[in-house]
Structure 1
Amino acid sequence: MNIYISNLSHGINDANLHELFNEYGEISSAKVITDRESGRSRGFGFVEMKNDDEGQKAISELNEAEYDGRIISVAVARPRTERSNNGSYNRNSYNSNRRY
């Protein structure tokens, strides 16, 4: 089960996230998402748990719990949706009405 955790303190790292969820069951991975340029936490992460029942228990007990001075949100992660334009604007459509 893939679990999404948001509103994490910027001081939280992968090991902290692993430790937090470890008491609920076996973890495949724990990852805090960081900014590509600065390397600083973006305030959210993902934990992959091997057992769905253990994952549900972790979600139930940790959602809206205080962790490192913040109230975190914990939920089942939704599948990532593909962006149609890879996150960039279409230059041709942006400039289509401009005359040079």
Structure 2
Amino acid sequence: MQKSFFIVLAVAIIGALAIYLFTSDLYAAIAFFTGAIVASVIFSIQSTSGTSAPSSNEPYSGPTMTLYVGNLPYRVHEGEVKALFGEYGPVNSVRLVRDRKTGRRKGFGFIEMSEAGAKKAMSKLNEYDFQERTLKVREAKSQDSDKPES
């Protein structure tokens, strides 16, 4: 988002200079706004005609797997974990477990991500040093498998 703003701003300034040089009877402010409008139109056309890569805000809709990640640093944030696992595939959610009484993180969590990415992440990130801690990455067990049969 920030990068695209600077691109539009740079194109607007260049466009304003070009308009001002070719039609010197226009005020510089009018030339700048005209350049900004032209740059915005060009940028929006260029971004819509490009390849439609999946947005990072949209959840992955294919086959998913939930991973258990243990030995996480206590001060780690969901965004840092999402970025780490996001290198291997689309991440739908990150849930770091907290103590109910104190609110402090317990050092483990669960990541839901694409199945292919999860398998890749398990092989690459198990025993991986992350913020001075060695991660333990496994496929999460379902809660149903822990219940005794009656």
Question: Unmatched 5+ residue regions in structure 2?
Answer: 1-64
Contact 1:17 1:31 in 2 (8 A): no
Partner of 1:87: none
Q: Which runs of 4+ in 1 moved over 2 A?
A: none
- Give the distance between the partners of 1:43 and 1:70, measured in 2 at CA: 10
Normalised to the residue count of structure 2, the TM-score between the two structures is 0.52
The amino acid of 1:74's aligned partner reads V
Alignment of structure 1 residues 1-20 onto 2, 5 Å:
1-20=65-84
Greater relative CO (CA pairs within 8 A, separation 6+):
1
Number of aligned residues: 82
Partner of 1:95: none
- Give the distance between the partners of 2:95 and 2:82, measured in 1 at CA: 8
Q: Which structure: larger Rg?
A: 2
More strand by share: 1
Question: Unmatched 5+ residue regions in structure 1?
Answer: 84-100
CA distances 1:41-81 after superposition (whole Å, capped 9, x unpaired)? 101000000x2111100000000000010111001001122
The amino acid of 1:9's aligned partner reads P
The amino acid of 2:97's aligned partner reads I
1:57 aligns with 2:116: no
More helix by share: 2
State the 1:82 CA deviation.
Answer: 4.0
Contact 1:32 1:44 in 2 (8 A): yes
